Each structure stands twice: as structure tokens, then as C-alpha cells.
Amino acid sequence: MEVEREPCEEPPPTMMEEEEAEAIPVAKEPPRIHRLDQSVVNRIAAGEVIQRPVSAVKELVENSLDAHSTSINVVVKDGGLKLIQVSDDGHGIRYEDLPILCERHTTSKLSEFEDLQSIKSMGFRGEALASMTYVGHVTVTTITAGQLHGYRVSYRDGVMEHEPKACAAVKGTQIMIENLFYNMTARRKTLQNSADDYPKIVDLLSRFAIHHINVNFSCRKHGAARADVHTVATSSRLDAIRSVFGVSVARNLMKIEAADDDVSSSVFEMDGFISNSNYIAKKTTMVLFINDRLVECTALKRAIEIVYAATLPKASKPFIYMSIVLPSEHVDVNIHPTKREVSLLNQEAIIEKIQSAFESKLRNSNEERTFQEQTMEPSSSGPKDTRKDSDCSPKLSGSRSQKVPVHKIVRTDSQDPAGRLHAYLQVKPQSHLGKESDLTVVRSSVRQRRNPKETADLTSIQELVSEIEGNSHSGLQDIIKYCTYIGMADDVFALLQHNTHLYLVNVVNLSKELMYQQVLCRFAHFNAIQISNPVPLKELIMLALKEEDLDQQCDENDDLKEKIAEIDWENEKSCFQGISSALANFFALHPPTLPNPSGDNFQFYKKRQSSRNPQDEGNSSNSLVDDVVIEEQIDHELLAEAENAWAQREWSIQHVLFPAVRLFFKPPTSMATDGTFVQVASLEKLYKIFERC
């Protein structure tokens, strides 16, 4: 029935009035305090210990581990709400203990409070089983060594529902919880509405399985033929991780160890397996055991994530399995009702030590990886005098960046190419590209020419060379010297990283200018061929230019051709300058004539053929259709040729152009403004933008 409201005469009270009204205490009798019914107390407490199905599984598995089981099997129905059953082959429970087994605060693991200091078992509060009986129906089947039969008994609200019944039993204990939260409507509803706990249970068992490698674990859905976790005891932690988390995780793990026995700071031993830079995941997996307890430690997790983000080129979330052992008196296990967290003595110091162990492990692995994939780094073979700054050596660069604030940390430096696009690409078995032998050939030839004899004796050339030197831009020079080549951004622009900045650099302009400078610097030092009669250069050049575009009918380029061919042969300086420019243009790394097949140009490599359906022969009404029926096939030969040409060019850009540029190039000031160098990102600015978000 709806209550009819009287129309309100007075305006409704404002916020202020309402607050004031509340602030005036109404003279009321104080409510009576009474003692809660024990069953209410127990049920409230139970709701805290058993928050959801997965917390019940954790308690039961921990009990099985405390009972020295070597095999633990879990069966779950309806995400644990209908049934959770944990069977083990542990020492079992004595017949005479069954009546108090599920009472609150009954335990076989602790007697004195002081025992907590040295407790090795996972349980000690004597609350888990009791709690389960307040929020579910618990049935225990157990047998101890030497008994002919076992006993089965069910519990409700902490007490036995009947006398234990003799039954057939296999070694150990089986505990079954049915209808979890049957008496807690709100919780059951929330749990039923949310995704079920089964994945969480599988995850939990997976974690236990990789730590307790001498125990067989299995976890399956009720009625399912296959187990979702199934491990057999092994002596190898890595094998256990492989069988639980899969090959793709296990093959990207490295062993890590750290320890400290300095009583004044921290005492601990840590060992584990952590992911390397090839591991890719969307979220961090951190399996942490402290003194064999599966716990969480947000501070440690964050600390490690920071190291990963700062050290590895791919900012992937890591996988970490870690076991930390401390003197038990340094761990307070009693800070959380479900023992999910523990508190450590000198936690800060321990975290710091572990953090630096991670850092050096990751840095080392990064360097190892670099040297495996990039057998030689061109820049590192440069002569000593080109590297004035001694702290650019790979070793020092690692330690140098340790105290750099995160927003200034760069993924790579010019000596450490781990961040290059190449590291991300699958290496195709190319016939001759990127092979070490090629590198060696190129490098030795570069080395031979590294210190060209002093330039030609000609004043004109000397003038041109000193123009180059006088016009050099020091900022660009620094970028070019200490940059990292990341990869080609498109057909013409390469992406470079210099400190915290990213640049796009026009490789055509760059290579042309480099060649121009090289021609001038080595003027008169190139190998020469003696020709008896002078050659008609102009005619030859015109011929060559005409031949290049024979198929082009229009002559609009003739002007240009005249220009190129018309080098000023009379004035020495401009003659040499003209020749150098022409040679530079010839040797510049222009994009290959065939379009880049990796771009939108792929279309170019599709053969277009008209195919005529024989049945339609002579049928004029269909002739329109005939023209449209086009079979698209890829011209594999042409495609391969193009791929090869583009790959070769990129190889030359990375392995020839940039190392040479680093050593010899004097960037002209004009390049800072003519679009040859364009800054595309700066980490500091990005940080500012993100801070505002």
C-alpha cells in the first residue's frame, strides 16, 4: 500500500538546517550492552576467516601440508559454493580428537603464545575448520597409521552432528565442505553474481605446486575427467613451473639468489625464478613464499615492478617466483586473520637488497642477450679517441643509471642496442644479410679507411672541408654520436633515440651529406684508373642519365639533366664541389626503385590478369563482365627481389650508415631546421602530459 504524503507547506530543510538538526543531541536512553550469543560471535568470526571459497581451499590445503602429506587432491563444484573436497595422504586425525576438531581455538600446532615465535606450521589459530562449520556443512573422513578402518563424521556450528561412524578409508584425511555460506544470504548472492572462484582456486593450487615440489597436487572440477592442475613430485623447481605455468613461461625464466647475514641490517636468504626480457604478460604474476608461507607483500611487488620497468627494454609485467627464508623470530605471522600477509623485521632493508639483486640480474641478462643477438656492435669497435667520454662503456653505463630518476631513465644508450626494433623482430633466415661475416667485412673496410691520410693538397678542397667543419652543428653532432638506431619508421625516416628524446632522421639526406663529406675528405685518395685519352665526361653523363629513364617519353627532365651534367669544369672549387655532390647523390641510400612491399604498396606485387570464362566465349552481353573478372596472384619473384632490396638497404643503414655517421659525420647547421632531424618525443614532456591526466 502506498503511503500518501501530505503536501508539504514548509519549504524542505536546507543542507545546513539538516546538519544542525542532527548536531543537536536528542536526549535518549543509552542502549543496553549485552553479550552476543556464542553462535553469532562464531558466525561473524567465521565470515572473516572464510571470506570466499578460495580462502576455504587455502586453509584446507595448508592443513594437509601441515599433516606432512605427499599428495593433495582438490575437487570443486559450482566454484566451491556447492562442494569443496580436499583429500590428502597425511598423518590423519586421532579418533579421540574428533569431538573437538571443529571447535574454535582447538589446534595441535600451538600451546603457548611464545610458540608463535618459532612456529613452522602454517596453521596455529585453530579457527579454520571451526569457521567452516559455521558457514557450511563439513564432513571429515580420516584414518591414522595402523588403523584397520577410518571414521567419518559431520559437523555443524563447531560440534559433531553424530558419533563418528567407522568407514573404509585410504591413508590420510578428506574434508568436504558443502553448501558454503548457506546461512549467509548476502554473501552467497554476491558470490553467485560474480565470476566463480574456480580460476582463483586453480591459481592457488598452481602457486602451492611450484613451491612444494615434493608434493603431488591436483585440482579438478567435480565430474571433470581432466585435472586443471596436475603435478607430480619433482626435484626441479623449473620442471614444476613448466608443468604448471607452461613451457612459454618456463623458458623465459632465470634463476635468482640473494642473501644477507648482516644482523645490523637484515638477515635473509632468497632464491627464485624471474622472467627475462622475452617474457610477455599483461599483469604481474608474483608467487611469494616467506618461510614456506604463501603470502602477499605489496611493497616488495611494487619494488620489483619498478626494477623491471626501468631495466628491461620491453616494459612487460614480470613473472616472479620467490622464496624468502628468515629466522622465524624475524617474522610476525599473526598480523592477518587469514595469514595472507606477514610482517618482517627490517622489511625495508630486505626489499632494497632484493631490488638490487633483481637489477643486476636483469642488467646482466640484458647484456648477455645483446651480445647473443648482435654479435658485434659496430660502434664499440670504433677507435678509442672517438669516445672522449669514458663512462660510455657498456659496463659503466649499467651502474651509472642506477640513481637516475625514473622519468629520465632511458631504455638504451648508444652502446647498448637492446632497445632496437630488431630485437623485437623475428630474425628471418636471410641468405646473406646480417651475417657476422658480412659485418666483419664491412667493419674491416671501414677500419681501413678510418683514418684517411690528410686531405688533398688542393686549396679548393681544403676550403670546402673547412666549410664543412665550420658549419657543423654541435647539438646534432652529439645526437649522432651517442644515439641508438631503433629502426626505420618509414621508407625515408629512421627512428633514433638520444637520451630521453626520440628523433626522426631523413636517411637519404643524411647519407647524401655523409658521402659528400667523405668524397671531399678523401679527395685524391680513391683508387684511380688511368685512362689514356680524356673521356668526354659530359657526354657520358648525359648518356647515363638518358639510359636510366629510357621509357620516359617526356623530356621535361632535360633541364635538370643538363644541370647535373653541367658541372662547372672551369672553376676548380665549384667543379670539385659539383663532382662531390653528384657522387654523393649516386651513393646516397635512396629507397629502392621497387616499392616497399611491407607498406601499402603490396598491391603492386599482385598480378592482374583478365580471365575469360570459356563458356562465355562469343557471348557479347558478357563482355563487360569479362573485363572485371581479374584473378589476383602475387608475383613472388618480384616480391622477393623487392624484399631483398629493402632488407639490404635497411641492413646498410643500420650497419654501415650509422656507424660511419657516428665516426665521420659533421652535421651541417641547416639539418637542424630543414626537416632532416625532427624531434618526435621527449620523455620529460610525456611525463608532464601524463601527470596532467
Sites of contact with ligand ADP (CB under 6 A): 59, 63-64, 67, 88, 90-93, 101, 107-109, 123-130, 173
64 binds, among Mg ion, ligand ADP, none (CB under 5 to 8 A by kind): ligand ADP
253 binds, among ligand ADP, Mg ion, none (CB under 5 to 8 A by kind): none
To Mg ion, the closest distance from the beta carbon of 17 in angstroms equals: 55
Closest CA to 138 of 159, 115, 111: 159
Output 128 or 138, the one with its CB closest to Mg ion: 128
128 near Mg ion, judged by CB under 5 A: yes
Residues in Cβ contact with 588 at an 8 Å cutoff, skipping those fewer than 6 apart: 508, 511, 512, 515
To ligand ADP, the closest distance from the beta carbon of 90 in angstroms equals: 5
Q: What is the DSSP secondary structure assignment for residue 409, as one 8-state letter? A: -
Rounded to whole angstroms, the Cα distance separating 254 from 672 reads 45
Rounded to whole angstroms, the Cα distance separating 692 from 11 reads 43
Question: DSSP secondary structure string, 468-532?
Answer: HHHTB-HHHHHHHHH-EEEEESSSSEEEEEETTEEEEEEHHHHHHHHHHHHHHHTTT-S-----S
To ligand ADP, the closest distance from the beta carbon of 117 in angstroms equals: 16
Output 127 or 513, the one with its CB closest to ligand ADP: 127
417 near Mg ion, judged by CB under 5 A: no
Output 128 or 180, the one with its CB closest to Mg ion: 128
Contact present, 88 and 62 (Cβ < 8 Å) = no
Report the DSSP pairing between strands 216-221 and 71-77: parallel
258 near Mg ion, judged by CB under 5 A: no
> Which residue is associated with the grid cell 610458540?
115
Contact present, 285 and 248 (Cβ < 8 Å) = no
Rounded to whole angstroms, the Cα distance separating 659 from 663 reads 6
To ligand ADP, the closest distance from the beta carbon of 400 in angstroms equals: 51
- Which one of the spans 116-124, 183-191, 489-497, 553-561 is the region binding Mg ion (CB under 5 A)? 116-124
Q: Which of 79, 92, 123, 398 binds Mg ion (CB under 5 A)?
A: 123
Q: How many helices (H) and strands (E) does the chain have?
A: 23, 22
> Which residue is associated with the grid cell 606432512?
68
Output 52 or 361, the one with its CB closest to Mg ion: 52
To ligand ADP, the closest distance from the beta carbon of 148 in angstroms equals: 19
Rounded to whole angstroms, the Cα distance separating 427 from 492 reads 22
460 binds, among Mg ion, ligand ADP, none (CB under 5 to 8 A by kind): none
To Mg ion, the closest distance from the beta carbon of 117 in angstroms equals: 19
125 binds, among Mg ion, ligand ADP, none (CB under 5 to 8 A by kind): ligand ADP
133 near Mg ion, judged by CB under 5 A: no
To Mg ion, the closest distance from the beta carbon of 47 in angstroms equals: 17
Rounded to whole angstroms, the Cα distance separating 425 from 639 reads 20
Rounded to whole angstroms, the Cα distance separating 217 from 331 reads 27
Rounded to whole angstroms, the Cα distance separating 73 from 216 reads 8
To Mg ion, the closest distance from the beta carbon of 338 in angstroms equals: 11
To ligand ADP, the closest distance from the beta carbon of 304 in angstroms equals: 31
Closest CA to 476 of 447, 449, 496, 446: 496
Helix (H) or strand (E) holding 152: strand 150-156
Q: Is 356 helix (H, G, I), strand (E, B) or coil?
A: helix
101 binds, among Mg ion, ligand ADP, none (CB under 5 to 8 A by kind): ligand ADP
Helix (H) or strand (E) holding 262: strand 253-262
Q: What does residue 452 show for φ and ψ, rounded to 5 degrees?
A: -60, 145
Output 337 or 487, the one with its CB closest to ligand ADP: 337
| Residues in binding contact with Mg ion, number by CB under 5 A | 3
- Which one of the spans 118-126, 276-284, 316-324, 447-455 is the region binding Mg ion (CB under 5 A)? 118-126
Output 116 or 345, the one with its CB closest to ligand ADP: 116
Output 132 or 514, the one with its CB closest to Mg ion: 132
Output 55 or 366, the one with its CB closest to Mg ion: 55
Q: What does residue 319 show for φ and ψ, rounded to 5 degrees?
A: -110, 130
89 binds, among ligand ADP, Mg ion, none (CB under 5 to 8 A by kind): none
658 binds, among Mg ion, ligand ADP, none (CB under 5 to 8 A by kind): none
The cell numbers describing 488, all together, are 626505420
Q: Which of 63, 311, 484, 506 binds Mg ion (CB under 5 A)?
A: 63
109 binds, among ligand ADP, Mg ion, none (CB under 5 to 8 A by kind): ligand ADP
Chain residue whose CB lies nearest ligand ADP: 123
To Mg ion, the closest distance from the beta carbon of 171 in angstroms equals: 20
To Mg ion, the closest distance from the beta carbon of 158 in angstroms equals: 15
Q: How far is it between the farthest Cα atoms of the chain? A: 125
Residues in Cβ contact with 390 at an 8 Å cutoff, skipping those fewer than 6 apart: 396
130 near Mg ion, judged by CB under 5 A: no
Q: Which residues bind Mg ion (CB under 5 A)?
A: 63, 123, 128
